[in-house]
Structure 1
Amino acid sequence: MSRAADRAAHRAALSGSGPTRDDAATAARFPGARSAFGLLGEVLLVGVLVALVSLPVVTLPAGLAAGARHLRRFLRADDSSLEWFWRDVRAALLGGIGVGAASVVIAAVLALDIDLAATGVLSGGPVVAFVGWAGLAALVLVLFVAGGRWTPELGWLGALRAVPSALRDDLAGAGYLVATAAFAVIVTWQLVPLVIAALGCVALAIVAVPERPRRARGAAE
């Protein structure tokens, strides 16, 4: 029976239907991800928590940072009680509100430019619209990457300083985060209550994208 099981596992590995070496490494590093339903429930819970924290809007960066740290603890099978989440929220609000307020102002200016470009009032409307959308994508990337890098010890200034090198070292990951943001906007636009699941997925992407196996192999090489 043991030989038959070994042969079956070997055939599954060759065909790609069985677990790969990367799968095993990921499971070892993130034991909390072994339960798909457990992870789904935690993602939805984080979505609810981030949505609550982000009601004033300017607190969104703090909510995402705390949510990402909560999911990271859960995936690593560390203590992921809600007490730690609220501790992170309190710490992230210091400086995080300033980041959120600046982000709201920048997003409002870019959205206004895009709206004016669509009306034809501005000369070179398509160029202005392109710059506006590119600016919004850049703003999202900065918020997501800084939120993933934030720790109480590093603070928001240190997290923001780490953004350029993080994006330069992982251009594909930047694309994944932009796609996640677009997904969150689309599903929320389709049905507003889905913002909870969307925010949970955003927090998961902030944690998972830098840790994906392809990136890990590249760093090791």
Structure 2
Amino acid sequence: MSEERRARRAATREARSGAGPTVSGVEPGVNPGATAKFGLFGEVLTIGLMMTVVALGVVTLPIALAAGIRHLRRFVAAEDSRAGLFWEDVRAGILSSLVVGVPAAVIAAVLTIDVLVAGSGALPGGQAIAVVGWAGLLVLSVALLAAAGAWSPALGWIGAVRAVPSVVRADAAGAAYLAAAAVFTGVVTWALAPLFIAGIGCAALAVVAVPARRRRGVHHAG
């Protein structure tokens, strides 16, 4: 194989991955930042740690998720993904996020207490109450992830929350993936608390990946 053909093939691979320059006749790939799998994994863990620090206040979990999701979107798109931009998003939305964070924390606490009391056998029909409690926690988690994914400094938290029903209706399967990500985060955290770092990072990546999955499906159908 000639040197020119080898160079052409290498350039074509890079173009298709989205990481290299455009080559004539080759459609460039999307999300070039996601092509380096080990690099993406490292970024998920790094942003998971940063999100965990912000989420220590509990009521600050929404802005931790939103800032982490925006950071990973920039990273997979090979845009500017400096850590400083994450902290800028946190500063821009942390106070207004309390309108979501405080009610979400209260609802989660009430549902958790219901599940614990139901599991103790102190209430008649405890199993049904526990199922309702777990379902409520799952719905709350999906809504929180969807709202965090919709948030931007320009839209604000009220607009992000209002967008949740339309997001779920537009992609019910995507909502199921978000539910799976929430369950995964809960399970790994229950198994070993420090794994929350990886879990929340993966949950943020799921919010980024679900719409990309939908776009690819539309592209292939066309």
Alignment TM class, shorter chain as reference: 0.7 to 0.9
Structure 2, unpaired ranges of 5+: 19-25
1:162 maps to what in 2?
Answer: 163
* 1:145–1:121 distance in 2 versus 1, CA, 3 Å: same
Residue 101 (str. 1) matches residue 102 (str. 2): yes
1:188 maps to what in 2?
Answer: 189
Moved more, 210-219 or 94-103: 210-219
Question: Once superposed, what is the RMSD of the aligned Cα atoms?
Answer: 2.6
SS in structure 1 of the partner of residue 140 of structure 2? helix
* 1:104–1:219 distance in 2 versus 1, CA, 3 Å: farther
Matches of 1:68 and 1:190, distance apart in 2: 24
Residue 86 (str. 1) matches residue 87 (str. 2): yes
Moved more, 144-153 or 92-101: 92-101
Aligned residue identity for 1:193:
P
Matches of 1:125 and 1:53, distance apart in 2: 35
Matches of 1:119 and 1:191, distance apart in 2: 23
Matches of 1:75 and 1:176, distance apart in 2: 19
Aligned residue identity for 2:186:
V
Structure 1, unpaired ranges of 5+: 10-18
User: Across the two proteins, how many residue pairs are aligned to each other?
Assistant: 205
Given that residues 68 and 204 in structure 1 are in contact (C-alpha distance below 8 angstroms), is that contact kept between their aligned partners in structure 2? yes
Given that residues 54 and 60 in structure 2 are in contact (C-alpha distance below 8 angstroms), is that contact kept between their aligned partners in structure 1? yes
Matches of 2:159 and 2:76, distance apart in 1: 24
**Structure with the higher helix share, 1 or 2:** 1
* 1:215–1:177 distance in 2 versus 1, CA, 3 Å: farther
Q: For 1:4-49, what per-residue CA distance to the aligned partner results, in whole angstroms no more than 9, with x for missing partners?
A: x9xxx9xxxxxxxxx9xx9889972201111111111111110110
SS in structure 2 of the partner of residue 28 of structure 1? coil
**Larger RCO, structure (CA 8 Å, separation 6 or more):** 1
* 1:27–1:130 distance in 2 versus 1, CA, 3 Å: farther
SS in structure 2 of the partner of residue 122 of structure 1? coil
Matches of 2:206 and 2:114, distance apart in 1: 29
* TM-score, length of structure 1 as denominator length: 0.84
Residue 197 (str. 1) matches residue 214 (str. 2): no
Matches of 1:164 and 1:40, distance apart in 2: 30
* 1:27–1:144 distance in 2 versus 1, CA, 3 Å: farther
Matches of 2:172 and 2:28, distance apart in 1: 25
SS in structure 2 of the partner of residue 153 of structure 1? coil
1:151 maps to what in 2?
Answer: 152
TM superposition shift of 1:210: 2.0
Give % identity: 53
Given that residues 113 and 132 in structure 1 are in contact (C-alpha distance below 8 angstroms), is that contact kept between their aligned partners in structure 2? yes
Aligned residue identity for 2:140:
L
Matches of 1:36 and 1:27, distance apart in 2: 18
TM superposition shift of 1:123: 3.0
2:118 maps to what in 1?
Answer: 117
